[in-house]
Amino acid sequence: MLKTFASLLPYLRRYAWWYFAGLACLLLTNAGQIQFPQWLKQAVNAIASGHPEVTQISSLMVGMAATALVIALGRVGWRVFIIGAARRIEKELRQDLVDHLLSMPASWFAGQRIGDLMARATNDIEAVRMAIGMVLVALTDAVTISGAILVFLLIQDPLLGLIIVSPLPVITVLIVVFGGKVGVLFKKVQEEYSSLSTFAQENLAGSRVVKAFVQEASVDARFRRANEAYLDANMELVKLWGFFFPIISALSGLSALFLLYWGGQDVMSGKLSPGDFTAYLSYLGMLIWPLMGAGMVVNWLQRGAASLLRLREVLDTKPTIVAEGDLPRPKNFDLEFRNLSFAYSSEGPTVLSNLNFRIPQGQFVGVLGRVGSGKTTLAALLPRTFDPPAGTVFLGGQDIRNYRLDDLRSCFSVVPQSTFLFSDTIRNNIAFARPETPDDRLRVLAELSTISRDIEALSQGWETEVGERGITLSGGQKQRLSLSRALNVDAPILLLDDALSAVDLDTEEKIIDHLKATRLGKTNLLISHRVATLRHCDVVLVLDKGRIVDFGTHAELMAREGFYAETARLQHVEFVVGGSP
Amino acid sequence: MSEEIRGLDLKILSRLMGTLKPYRWQVVTSVVALGMGALSELAVPLLLQNGIDKGLLAHDLAHLTLVSAGILASIVVTMMTSFYQVYMLSKISQSVMLDLRTSLMARFQRQSSAWLLSHPQGRLVSAVTSDVSTLSEFFNTLFTSLLKDFVMMGGVVVALFVLHPLLAFWTVVTLPPVFVLVLLFGSWNRKANRRVRAQVSRVNAFLSEHLQGIGVVQLFGRQKAARATFSQENTELLAANLAERTINAVFRPLIDVLWAVSLGFLVWFGTQLFLHPDSSGTLTVGVLIAFITLVSRFYNPVASLAENFTALQSAMAGAERVFHFLETEVMVPDRGHLALGEAPHANIEFREVRFRYLPEEPVLQGLTFKVLEGQTVALVGTTGAGKTTITSLLTRLWDIDSGAILFGGNDLRDYQLSSLRGGIQSVLQDVFLFSGTVFDNIDLGRGLPRGRIEEVCRQVQAHGFIQALPLGYDTLLNEGATNLSSGQRQLVSFARVLAQDPKVLILDEATANIDTETEGMIQQALQVLLKDRTSLVIAHRLSTIRKADRILVLDRGIIAQSGTHEELLAQGGLYADVYKLQFESSSD
């Protein structure tokens, strides 16, 4: 465990003085707390003696006030320093984690679940914070307060001290033992909650299907079951947790009872003064928190260590795209594939094999192929979303791996196959790559993808929020928005990865026309299943099982009886076979 | 957070209490348990006083033993009652949450699509989940914390007066400042806490979104900008956390100071009473010790008082949203009593149908057409011409503004909604599958025999690939069914519809995204679906259009042309123009 926490040393070192100052304040507070019952003892003894003196009582009062003030100031101090340091380290840790995540490549994200990463950035970091903040406080309290009180009680009267303190260590044991069990049950509650929430979310998203198939009653029943599971998990937790505090207060009551019974007999015999009795009573009350804290320290440290390990797991994974070159953006944008073969992992199947092709700058190139033929992979290799082998993909005559990554990526505008929009306004989504884009330019971009007509129809227009907090766009609208966003970069090479699949033919036609008119001299790479679209390209590559099986213009490919012509026939059977009407 | 409620809204409070009605006896017994617990807890200092004065200082061991037994009894009673009370109140609040969640969800499901679309889904989900959760917080805070705290604090004051009225008076005089402190810090704390919560959710939203969209962030080279934005949000979160810490760091020690002040007063006046005994009786050591103990008990709950009030208020805000949604009327009324099966025939007729989603944007403007039983009618037209709207109107996802839609000669609204939707089925382009098994997605909870499901899948050519999945029909689909290809999803949705054997089929033909092989399978499966069934097809493929019995050409909400493919080409006009534009040039 020590080794795990050692990785926090660089952070802790930066705040060493904060921790020292906090610790000093804490010790001051604890000293004051231990002193306070002593004033009470003297006061009670003075009163019990039957003739208290005003001067004595007055000086006692001054002492009490001074002690109370010291305690208060110390408390303010340790909260400011220790909690302050823990919060600051928490922030730095979170920032480092997010910085690291942002630099991780797509290949790494493919194996991660977003929910799990979120948990690391939230719950795990919080667990680490508890370990570097409250642990110190609880540990110090446990050692100083309970140590001092135990020493005091045992020195005064060992036997009596042992008797009255005996119920209290059970508190520590209870917390250590049940803490873990409670953690497990709590996790179960959270899981049930998240499955309940997922169910609600999914069925609201699919409400159309639920209605269409008249499944309301069945959804009701299943949702009720999810709720019952959540209730049961909660009640399991309550059965354990609900006992916890009642037992703790019972134990502390028990120790006060022992004091009354056995300590009382000592008072009768004169071994103990009434003031001592009062001080004992106060001390017993003061012991509860440090003993609870001691138990919690164990849990906090365990949880903190586990969480830290989960954080390190992410932070210690190096980004795989490390071979970044130092070339700036090239002057010409000819693309070339030389003997390109690619597999996602060394054991995995070959996705692309031995591709050789040149795309001169300014060409409009189409790609056709079955699902799984490697089209998307091809597009993903260009901006190094996935890394091609060295010496296979060239841009402007240089291996793309020789460019600085940012410069390389700035050469491409990408419209990916699955559209991701941010829950933000339409304006901000289109302006994503260049937030300062002026309005008239945004309007032009919206017209290029024809999303402008949809924006005009919305009552809030450009300021309409999309996504979870806003309206739900249709598949075609999302794709066109995503296209406008990509065009805002206006990069030398545009990659459209089956990115107009949900747009109707008519609109797609218009978009292609717009692209042709506005992107003169720039390269466009269009992956599509539609021959009606591909026929506008200068040249079409036909991919099959990771190989280029054919290429040529629409007319050339139609003339050869290959996959392209076959696809065309299937898509417009009557027309191709039956001729014009 | 802007919807935070100021003060306590009595109307919401009474509705909240209303949700407890089914559990009123449990509530009564737990409140009784709470009272008993508080009494037995308060008994301890009183017994202590008695034991000290009459046992210990009077050297009466028998009395001391008796009092000790009494304390033991009250410890046991306190423990039992507080466990009972915590358990019962959790059970009650959990049950109330279950009731509210299920009725909210039932209500949402029965709302019209118009209503569902006009309410962001995130808000509906959070109403069902987090807003309802705040209610359980409400009951927990109210009963286990606030009610108990007030009973205890009140009990302490009463006990003080019982023990020694004059000393009690002087002690109680020192208590009000603490309430001033609570009120003052309470409102600061509330603000600080609200700021923290708002910022936490901003940070989380930012994270979850940028992790999901990491590909987009990287492709557009926005890592630096994202880092900078996150750094800002993260710094603001730190500032919010530190502000809250500062308030707490000052507030809690201040309460401790006030507690010490009260004790000082107590000792001071205790001494005065001792020196100048008067009619209110002398002060004993036992009474003094009991006072010290009781005053500590009084100060215990004070620190959390402010937090509890905050929790109460935010719970009320959540409750208001929940009740608002529960009161919203279901906007597609289901008043019909006819069953679709009783219709004399399956003709569909639109008569002068007018409809708009938004007041100023008419979609259908007096649409009139007829589909005869067993016919396949193709709808063609530009995007936004109203094709999809027609399909939504037929299943009453929306109700029309004027005109009439008839099925089998009866108005749609005369049919039971469930019977109508069961008999008129639509297959949409955007296939929505639930996370669950393939079988569940086709069966949809009706419990059809396995053989029937497989039979249906064979007919639409889905059986082959389903069998090839790791667990066949029992394979779990991911969220969004990403473990199926889009063509496979399409075939599953066909099977789902065929399993229902609907009287009328509405088909929104998929445009693309499907490779040619799957395309071939889908075309064949479609023939199975359409055979002898009254069908309305939003067509994109020439083959489908040409096979239709009739083609309706929609333009801006009216039927511009109708007829067969050949008739329409011969007529000239919109259809012929679109046809030429889309298909003719592909022969170049």
What residue in A sits closest to B359 (Cα-Cα)?
Answer: A459
Which of B106, B120, B214 lies at the smallest CB-CB distance from A220?
A: B106
Q: Are A329 and A407 in contact (CB under 8 A)?
A: yes
Give which of A206, A215, A199, A234 is closest to B97, Cα–Cα. A234
Q: What is the pLDDT of residue B585?
A: 43
Q: Which helix (H) or strand (E) holds A429?
A: helix A426-430
**DSSP 3-state assignment of B364?**
strand
The answer to whether the Cβ–Cβ distance between B274 and A47 falls below 8 Å is yes
**Chain A partners within 8 Å of B418 (Cβ):** 214, 216
Q: What is the mean pLDDT of chain A?
A: 85
For residues A122 and A354, give the distance between their C-alpha atoms in angstroms, rounded to a whole number.
Answer: 45
Nearest CA of chain B to the CA of A354: how many Å? 23
The per-residue pLDDT for B582 is: 56
Q: Chain A interface, mutation test: which of B583, B584, B588, most A Cβ atoms within 10 Å?
A: B583
Question: For residues B80 and B40, is the Cβ–Cβ distance under 8 A?
Answer: no
Candidates 2.60.40.10, 3.90.79.10, 3.40.640.10, 3.40.50.300; correct CATH number of B340-587?
3.40.50.300
Contacts with A512 from chain B: Cβ below 8 Å: none
Closest residue in B to A491 (Cα) is B220
What is the reported pLDDT for B242? Answer: 94
Interface probe for B, chosen from A91, A213, A480 (most Cβ of B below 10 Å), is A213
ipTM value, please give it: 0.82
Q: Give Cα separations from B195 to B134, B138, B191, B310 (angstroms).
A: 18, 21, 6, 13
Q: Which residue of A has its CA nearest to B442?
A: A213
Residues 6+ apart with CB under 8 A from B418: A214, A216, B334
Question: Which residues 524-543 of A have a C-beta within 8 angstroms of B?
Answer: 528-532, 535
Nearest CA to CA, how far is A421 from chain B (Å)? Answer: 8
CATH 1.20.1560.10 is held by the domain A1-157+294-320: yes
What chain B residue is nearest to A567 in terms of C-alpha separation? B516
Separation CA A61–CA B47 (nearest Å): 28
Question: A209 CB near a chain B CB, below 8 Å?
Answer: yes
Distance between B143 CA and the closest CA of chain A, angstroms: 14
Q: Note the pLDDT of residue B5.
A: 46
Contact between A200 and B225 using a beta-carbon 8 Å cutoff: no
What is the nearest CA distance from A155 to chain B, expressed in angstroms?
23
Q: What is the C-alpha separation between B210 and B229, in angstroms, rounded?
A: 11
Give the sheet arrangement for strand A412-415, strand by strand. Answer: A412-415, A493-497, A523-527, A364-369, A539-544, A547-552
On whether the CB atoms of residues A122 and B231 are closer than 8 A, the answer is no
Distance from CA of B120 to the nearest CA of A (A): 5
Residue showing tokens 């805000």: B317
Up-side HSE of residue B219: CA atoms within 13 Å toward CB?
30
C-beta atoms of A210 and B270 within 8 A: no
Q: For B261, which residue in chain A has the nearest alpha carbon?
A: A65
Residue A183 Cα, gap to closest chain B Cα (Å): 18
Percent of chain A with pLDDT over 70: 96
The beta-carbon neighbor of A61 closest among B264, B289, B361 is B264
Q: How would you class B332 by CB atoms within 10 Å of its CB: exposed for 0-12, middle for 13-18, buried for 19 or more?
A: middle
Tokens standing for residue A92: 């730095």
Inter-chain residue contact B238 with A250, CB threshold 8 Å: no
Domain map (residue ranges) of chain A: 1-157+294-320, 161-271, 335-411+491-578
Q: Which of residues 491-510 of A touch B (CB under 8 A)?
A: 498, 501-507, 509
Average pLDDT over residues A159-188: 86
Q: pLDDT tens digits for A332-355? A: 888 899 988 888 877 778 888 888
CB-based contacts of A468, cutoff 8 Å, min separation 6: A423, B120, B121, B122
* pLDDT tens digits, one per residue of A36-86: 999 989 988 888 887 778 888 888 888 988 999 999 999 999 999 999 999
10 Å CB burial of residue B475 (0-12, 13-18, 19+) is middle
Chain A contact for B515 (CB, 8 A cutoff) = yes
Model confidence band, residue A129 (pLDDT cutoffs 50, 70, 90): very high
Subunit contact A36:B260, Cβ cutoff 8 A: yes
CB pair distance less than 8 Å for A504 and B511:
yes
Q: How many CB atoms within 10 Å of residue B34?
A: 22
The answer to whether the beta carbons of residues A61 and A314 sit under 8 Å apart is: no
Of the candidates B177, B552, B578, which has an alpha carbon nearest to the alpha carbon of residue B370?
B552
CB-CB neighbours of B59 under 10 Å: 12
Judge whether A467 and A424 are in contact, CB under 8 Å. yes
Closest in B122, B293, B520 to A469, CB measured: B122
Query: Given an 8 Å threshold on Cβ–Cβ distance, is B432 in contact with A224?
Result: no
Domain ranges in chain B?
Answer: 10-164+283-327, 340-587
Question: Is a pLDDT exceeding 80 seen at residue A390?
Answer: yes
**If you count residue pairs, one on A and one on B, with CB atoms under 8 Å apart, how many are there?**
431
Reply yes or no on domain A335-411+491-578 having CATH 3.40.50.12780.
Answer: no
Residues of chain B with confidence (pLDDT) below 70: 1-8, 277-281, 331, 358-361, 382-385, 429-430, 479-480, 482, 510-517, 541, 578, 580-588
CATH T-level assignment (fold) for domain B10-164+283-327? ABC transporter transmembrane region fold (1.20.1560)
Over residues A512-522, mean pLDDT: 89
In angstroms, the separation between the Cα of residue B295 and the nearest Cα of chain A is 12
Indicate left, alpha or beta for B94 from its phi (over 0: left) and psi (-120 to 50: alpha): alpha
Query: What is the distance in angstroms between the Cα of B191 and the nearest Cα belonging to chain A?
Result: 19
Q: Lowest-pLDDT range, A10-24, A561-575, B109-123, B174-188?
A: A561-575
Contacts of B267 in chain A (CB under 8 A): 40, 43, 57, 60-61, 64
Check residue A327 and report its DSSP letter.
B
pLDDT digits (tens, 9 = 90+) for B369-418: 888 888 888 888 766 667 778 888 888 888 888 889 999 888 988 888 88
Question: Hey, of A60, A76, A90, which one would you mutate to test binding to chain B, going by the most B CBs within 10 A of its CB?
Answer: A76
Query: Of the candidates A368, A423, A304, which has an alpha carbon nearest to the alpha carbon of residue A563?
Result: A368
Alpha carbon B413 to chain centroid, angstroms: 30
List CB contacts (< 8 A) between A43 and chain B. Answer: 267, 270-271
Whole-number Å distance between alpha carbons of A531 and A220? 46
If we measure between CA atoms, which residue out of A475, A532, A538 comes closest to residue A509? A532
Q: Which among B132, B141, B176, B158 is positioned nearest to B306, based on CA atoms?
A: B141
For residues B533-560, b (16+ Cβ closer than 10 Å) or e, as one string? bbbbbbbbbbebbbbbebbbbbbebebe
Please name the member of A46, A228, A502 whose beta carbon is closest to the beta carbon of B511.
A502
Mutation for A interface: B219, B263, B389, most A CBs within 10 A: B219
Q: Which of A175, A85, A550 is nearest to B242 (CA)?
A: A85
Terminal alpha carbon distance of chain B: 62
